[in-house]
Structure 1
Amino acid sequence: MNSYVGRLVVPTLFSALQLPYIVWLYAESRKVPVVGIFYLAIIAVVAWLLGAVYDKKQRTIELLKDSEGRYRIISKSSKELLNSFNEVIFKTDEKGKWQYLNPAWKMMSGRTVNESLGLHFSKEIDKTSYHRILKAFANSFREGKRYFRVDIKMNNRNNEGSWVEAFVKLVYDDGGEFIGTAGILSEINERKHAEEKLVSLNEHLAITSSKLSAAAQLAAGIAHEVRNPMTSILGFVKLIKDGSENKQEYYDIIFSEINRIEQILNELLLLSKPSKTEFSEKNLIGICNHVLTLLETNAVLNNIQIHKNFDEDPILIYCDENQIKQVLINLIKNAIESMANGGNIFVNIQEKDHEVSIGILDEGEGIPEHSIQKIGEPFFTTKSSGTGLGLSVCFKIIENHGGKVFITSERAKGTKIVCVFPTCKTNEKKEVPFKIMNKFSENKI
């Protein structure tokens, strides 16, 4: 009924206003003129139409009021919902400046929403995460994707890093123009810590596995190496038993051979024995000599000669001796395995500008160009029976010692790996070695 109020009220009001005029006409002429009736009919129609317009306007106003009420309810509910999230809801413009952040932002970043609005998002994250986001943006634009996920590390006000998973949606206008982003930031510190523990455990298992594998592969060479001194010892013991002269000289030879056997066995046990990481000042030349002694027989059995090109003067580095030995054993063992038909391995050591470089050059098959960039990645290997963990472990050890790795290779000519470590002086105070910020290696061909 309310829908017809105007169409009922306006004509009724018109009729009430025109009634005296009709009565007067009738009183004067005892009849109503045709023209007057026609005029009154037109006025009645106009009144009806005006009432209809009024009704329509009233319905529009009621709808607007209803929509406004619903909008206020939805707006209030949406605001309460956004404010109740523990995750950060955000929106940025096309330049990457924050346009909207919900209250959870303060808990995540340590800054209020008003402090961050209008600032570029890069001010809240570390440099590595910033480049990771730029790469994800580039990939999304290139592949035509409208969203992407990426793990980033945010720096809060106390400079404490917090790991966050960002779900980012690219926003475009009706014309296809990029106008900004919207998305969600979720804290994933527990997940990241669990992943780091898992990675650490995998690295420990990989190091142990690599040690046992190296020990097993060296068994044949060590058996041969031990057999020769034992033959000499048995021969001289027999001479002494038969009463030969020059017993003191025989004793010296016997003890020399026993010491050699002991040295070889100690090196083998060192490989298979799990040990705690302990950094101390060590002589790199002595470490290299021990490793080369251990691998020399294995190389000879494969028709390979190892050539040393370094002085015997001590070069001191701050390291874990067992881990450095493991690195050198793996690198030289890989060089041996790359030369199925024999050849030469050259080991060079040079010290310059508080750094020492160890170069291992082989005459093997070389590394394909498409594979050299992947060298050191976990589970990547060019061997048919390899695990892909050996070099990954080696490069991680080098990185933890503040070192760098450079790889050059040429097909059918060989591969050269250079490991660079910082040296130390005896009068310097020793600290835990720094970790290099860049990737562990720079690969060149």
Structure 2
Amino acid sequence: MKNIALRSTKIFPLIVTRAALVSFLLLSAIIGDLKGVPPFPPSARFPFYLLLFSTYGLSALYILLLSLVKTERINIYLQCIIDVVVVTYLVYITGGSTSIYSVFYTLIIIYAVLFLGKGGTFVVASLCVIFYGLLLDMEYYGLLNPLFIAVDDYPFQTSYVLSRLATHLLSFYLIAYLASFVVEREKKAQTLLAEKEDAFKQLDLLHQSIVESVNLGIITINRSGRIKSINRAALEITGFTFAEVIDREIYALFPRLEEIKHSPEKKDRFELEIGTKEGKVLILGCSLSPLMDSGGEQIGDILIFQDLTMIKKMEEEYEKSRKMALIGEMAARLAHEIRNPLATISGSLQVLRKDMESLNIDERLFRIIMRGKEQLENFMRDFLLLARPMPGSFSVVSLRELLNEVLDALRYNECWHEGISVNNLMEGNFSFYANPSEIRQVLWNILLNASQAIADTGVITVTSRHLPHGFEIAICDDGCGIEKKDLKKVFEPFFTTKDRGTGLGLAITRRVMEDLGGRVEIESTPGSGTKVTLFFPAKVMEEQKDGASSRC
């Protein structure tokens, strides 16, 4: 059925065209006949109309042949043979050698070229020559009675008949040759065009494959600043879908791009911060180049970029490690240079304390000196803790017990006041393997900051929850909060906004948590409070089990 439908699509237009031509001849004949100038001899009226009406029946026969004859070439040959016979009869009844309808032979030859090729066309041309020649010969020798003259009154000489035959023979073969030549050239042109189109498609496919395969984001922008194309990597980096960005202004996605593009200082490479659909901030390394057409005229721009967020984080981590290494080196030297004089001062103060009354020493000044000494000792302790782990062995730590110890100790600190209340909502008791002194210091640093943030009245809330890969504890306060500009600096050593702070507490907290394989995060809103979340990995709990097993 599929092959029949395919043949129908190619042959059916030929059948329709033939029927249309017959209809035109029939209409012309009727009009001419009504006006008294018929296109046929009077004696040929009935055969002429009969032939034209019979042609409609032949069209139905040709349609039937589509299903009966499976081969297209044979189908066309059958139609050509029948058409040659029909045209020969038409020529015979309309004047024989003088008939103007012999031109229809050329139409048969032309459509044969389209379906049968060069060889088949010359076969059909030869068939036309044979039938037309036989008709002229049979009329000349009296074997056929011309409908327009008496039997014994044939008016044409031998030279006329031969010239007509030669003229038609030459024209038939010349038309067959020229038509074949034109059709073959056209087929070659189509083949070449198809090859070029295929090569272009392959090149375009290769280009698209390269663009889609690279891990760099590539966006093309027109002169109006609208996105005309975007590759897979660009969509993955930005988190948008194709429908969300196509034909959208590029400056909506890359806000600072317009400023950089029109800046007097052109940069080949630059960095941009953009916000993703999920609200994340990405750092992109970008390159903006002009997009040219084949004539060398700029039609837009090409933006190429890659995600540098992880690289920047690694650079920050490296810088932090470098600073910590420097601090460790400084701590080792300071410990030697300061501890010995500090020990001497402490010892001397202890002796003076015993003889305060006999030596008439001002007690207020003595307390100031002692407080200064204690501050210096606390600073040295924090400084050494930041640079290296606190001495002490790892053991099983009960988070609830440590939290209660720290809260009890914090209530006797000078920063604590009656307006502070604690809401401990910890669920269960989290036990894990760590250095208890370091975990105690972490909790102390965070709870101390929370209590110092509450000026009058406020609540410190402690919550906990299990995670698929560990657990977390969150300490929240409703104090003054942290300014946005300071939030990125809170983990930097020596950064503080307090008059008496060392700026080492959160830096120590971060170092301890990272040594455990966990992390610390801070969220804060100025005027509303701060939330500090400690994430402990599952491995610290597994190490506890391993340690218990080994002791058994």
TM-score range normalised by the length of the shorter chain:
0.3 to 0.5
Structure showing the higher strand proportion among its residues: 1
Q: Which has the higher contact order (CA 8 A, sep 6+)?
A: 1
What TM-score do the two structures reach when normalised by structure 2?
A: 0.35
Question: Which has more radius of gyration?
Answer: 2
What TM-score do the two structures reach when normalised by structure 1?
A: 0.41
